[in-house]
Amino acid sequence: MKQEITKIKAKQPNITHKAAFTEAAQRWKISLNNPKNNSINEAINIISNKDLESEDDLLIGNLIFNIKFNY
């Protein structure tokens, strides 16, 4: 968290610590490094390591990406 807050403050020097912390927490929520995201990470890895043979495979991969990154 400290490193992420430092990055945020470097890009936005006028940001308050509280706002930087909130932004860092939101990033952690969807981070691939967050252990709570393991099931989604596994699904992404399965699809990305698999040959996409059909349009359905690609749609599933896109759906997982969109869920993961809230698009």
Per-residue pLDDT of the chain (71 residues; tens, 9 = 90+): 889 999 999 999 999 999 999 999 998 887 877 877 777 667 766 666 666 566 666 677 777 777 777 65
Q: Say what the pLDDT of residue 66 is.
A: 76
Closest listed residue to residue 3, CA positions, set 33, 36, 41:
33
Q: Say what the pLDDT of residue 59 is.
A: 76
Per the CB < 8 A criterion, the answer to whether 12 and 20 are in contact is: yes
Per the CB < 8 A criterion, the answer to whether 66 and 40 are in contact is: no
